[in-house]
């Protein structure tokens, strides 16, 4: 589920790790939001009333347009992110025992997850410099196990946040119950399949070619390159749409370098 704009499957773990860690929190937020996009899944309020929290009319654009609901969703995603290091620890230990990762690699992955849980703020100290290959099958299996474990823990993590939101009338009991039910359903299903596999040879080649075309001739040239890749069956049309956005996106200037 990593969408980390890989150009090479062997680039250093130091460059790709922040995205690997962030994907756990992003997955939590995106899947939670999917539970907010429709009011049809929400049961009737258990107290017999038909009015939403704060006795306000439903907002246009679906439940996800409700700023209070979105704030609750973000709080849950943040809570999951803060705990992902602890959630991952036994899985990483097992990965070392089964020789999927070395101890330095497991320590490095754990450090990245813990750092992401602290908002990227490091207290310094000795850190592992072990490298991990994001396209290595063993690493990907461990990563998926960590994400699945985070999804399983999410209903438990979310419960006190939902209770507090209901008490403060940010959301009603019906919406809280619908969110909890959605979390439990997703936990049973496991992590969603990735929209695009950055480790696939066709994806990497198409990304590189589209970026070069965009640099030389602009968006039209990038689109032409991707259309040719689709015709050659190197990528699908849906993958081309994602790669077009990726290839034609200007680098962010806030950090002094390309994304």
Which carries the bigger pLDDT value, residue 242 or residue 130? 242
Distance between CA 245 and CA 259 in Å, rounded? 13
What would the mean pLDDT of 23-31 be, rounded to a whole number? 46
Please report the pLDDT score of residue 209 as a whole number: 92
Flag whether pLDDT at 139 surpasses 90. yes
Q: What is the pLDDT of residues 126-136, one digit of tens each?
A: 666 788 888 89
Distances from the Cα of 164 to the Cαs of 76, 134, 172, in angstroms? 12, 38, 11
Which carries the bigger pLDDT value, residue 33 or residue 143? 143
Q: Which of 29-33, 48-52, 187-191, 221-225 has the lowest mean pLDDT?
A: 48-52
Burial class of residue 254, CB neighbours in 10 A (0-12, 13-18, 19+): exposed
Please report the pLDDT score of residue 114 as a whole number: 86
Instruction: Name every residue whose Cβ is closer than 8 Å to that of residue 228 and which is 6 or more positions away in sequence.
Output: none
- Extended beta strands in the chain, E state: none
Average pLDDT, the chain: 76
Q: What is the pLDDT of residues 81-121, one digit of tens each?
A: 999 999 999 999 999 999 999 999 999 999 988 887 676 55
Asked if 222 contacts 214 with a C-beta cutoff of 8 angstroms, the reply is yes
Please report the pLDDT score of residue 126 as a whole number: 61
Which carries the bigger pLDDT value, residue 124 or residue 164? 164
Please report the pLDDT score of residue 7 as a whole number: 36
Which carries the bigger pLDDT value, residue 150 or residue 57? 150
Q: What is the pLDDT of residues 142-198, one digit of tens each?
A: 999 999 999 999 999 999 999 999 999 999 999 999 999 999 999 998 887 778 888
Q: Smallest Cα–Cα separation from 66: which of 216, 196, 147, 170?
A: 170
Q: How many helices (H) and strands (E) does the chain have?
A: 8, 0
Dihedral angle computed from the Cα positions of residues 160, 162, 165 and 167, in that order, rounded to the nearest 10 degrees: -70
Flag whether pLDDT at 252 surpasses 80. no
What would the mean pLDDT of 207-215 be, rounded to a whole number? 91
The DSSP code sequence of 57-120 is: PPPTT-GGG-HHHHHHHHHHHHHHHHHHHHHHHHHHHHHHHTTSS-HHHHHHHHHHHHHHHTTT
Flag whether pLDDT at 79 surpasses 90. yes
Please report the pLDDT score of residue 121 as a whole number: 54
Flag whether pLDDT at 17 surpasses 70. no
């Amino acid at each position: 589920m990593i969408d980390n704009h890989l150009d090479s499957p062997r680039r250093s773990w130091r460059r790709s790790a922040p995205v690997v860690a962030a994907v756990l929190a992003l997955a939590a937020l995106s899947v939670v939001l999917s539970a907010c996009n429709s009011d049809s899944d929400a049961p009737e309020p258990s107290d017999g009333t038909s009015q939403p929290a704060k006795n306000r009319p439903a907002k246009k654009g679906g439940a996800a347009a409700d700023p209070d609901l979105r704030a609750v969703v973000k709080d849950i995603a943040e809570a999951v992110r803060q705990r992902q290091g602890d959630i991952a620890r036994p899985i990483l230990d097992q990965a070392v025992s089964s020789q999927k990762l070395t101890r330095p690699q497991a320590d490095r992955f754990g450090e990245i997850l813990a750092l992401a849980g602290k908002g990227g703020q490091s207290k310094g100290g000795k850190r592992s410099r072990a490298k991990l290959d994001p396209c290595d099958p063993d690493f990907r299996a461990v990563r998926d196990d960590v994400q699945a474990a985070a999804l399983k823990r999410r209903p438990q993590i979310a419960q006190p946040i939902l209770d507090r939101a209901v008490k403060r009338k940010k959301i009603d009991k019906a919406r809280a119950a619908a969110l909890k039910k959605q979390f439990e359903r997703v936990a049973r299903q496991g992590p969603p399949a990735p929209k695009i596999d950055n480790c696939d040879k066709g994806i990497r080649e198409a990304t590189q070619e589209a970026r070069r075309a965009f640099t030389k001739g602009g968006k039209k040239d990038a689109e032409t390159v991707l259309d040719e890749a689709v015709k050659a069956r190197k990528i699908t049309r849906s993958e081309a749409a994602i790669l077009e956005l990726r290839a034609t996106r200007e680098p962010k200037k806030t950090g002094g370098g390309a994304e």
